[in-house]
Amino acid sequence: MDISESQIIAEFANVFIRPDSRVLVGIGDDAAVVTTGHRTVITTDMAVEGVHFKREWSSAFDIGRKITAANLADIYAMGALPDHLVVSVALTGNESLEWIKSLAIGIDQEARKCDATVVGGDVVRGNVVTISIAALGHVGTPVLRSGAQVGDEIFLSSLPGWSTAGFHILTNTIDPTSLANAAHAHKALAQFRAPTLDYAVSREFRFAHALCDVSDGLLTQAPQIANASGVKLLFQRSLIEATTDFAELAELAAELEADPWDWVGAGGEDHVMLGTGKKLPGIRVGEVISGEGVEIAGLERKPRGFTHFR
């Protein structure tokens, strides 16, 4: 592409700049200056082409939404609210200005759902497209993984597994229109390309005793709460299978000769809140008891699936 760095930055600035009283100095200087007056929560996440997304599978808009949602979910998983984002992008030089602008719009539209503002970043050349976002939020009292108490109930903001179902469809080159469960397949593909977060529900998880995001898989991150809190998380298979989402996933899995529990229990890239406490929103899926580790009562085979490093 015959596009200069200054053109790309200008395109990003046109998308990202908007009135925000919290931003004293925004895009255009050496660094941003913001004001919060609260405890600040900071997280970062990175998406690498060929590892976290493929351009033949996802639009630039969806890629922008997906990496932004990953960062915002981590802010909510601390019981916090997001304020600002810093976006750094490596481009190969073969992208069109239209593709770059679509990426920026995806980032901006996801951020707007939470009243978060992009205040700066960087653009460089790289061998593959890489997007790194740092998110800053504010919190009164952070909700940690170490706060689970015996007698708590376990809640999920929604059922994980849809993203991995979409990944299964794409990696096996399955035509979703050829399936009897085509609607479920299209839902899975949409959730893989850009997961939908219910930010209003996620916000209510700030009342949890312990909290985390399960983007690395339910049975990878539930033990992190159990271990940090010195308790056992006992999930009930019957409660999870009673949900509408599980019934739909099971129908799709049966048609694809897959096990829905591999998607639900071990799938990744779902940005779902897992919390323990009382009367939280979402789906009640179990309870916290004395002991250690994690168990899904009634499930004989441990789900297999997602891991960052194989």
Query: What's the count of helices (H) and strands (E) in the chain, helices before strands?
Result: 10, 12
pLDDT tens digits, one per residue of 156-166 = 999 999 999 99
Show the domains of the chain with their CATH numbers: 5-139 (3.30.1330.10), 145-297 (3.90.650.10)
| CB within 8 Å of 41: residues ≥ 6 apart | 75, 78, 80, 136, 137, 138, 139, 142
Question: What's the pLDDT band for 258 if we cut at 50, 70, 90?
Answer: very high
Q: What is the pTM of this model?
A: 0.90
Q: Over 50: is that where the pLDDT of 295 sits?
A: yes
pLDDT of residue 29: 63
- Alpha-helical segments (H) within the chain: 5-16, 60-76, 97-112, 162-171, 182-193, 199-204, 218-229, 237-241, 244-255, 260-266
Cα angle 237-242-247, degrees, rounded to a multiple of 5: 105
| CB within 8 Å of 162: residues ≥ 6 apart | 187, 188, 191, 192, 195, 245, 249, 263, 270
Q: Over 90: is that where the pLDDT of 54 sits?
A: yes
Tell me what the mean pLDDT of segment 42-55 comes to. 93
pLDDT of residue 268: 87
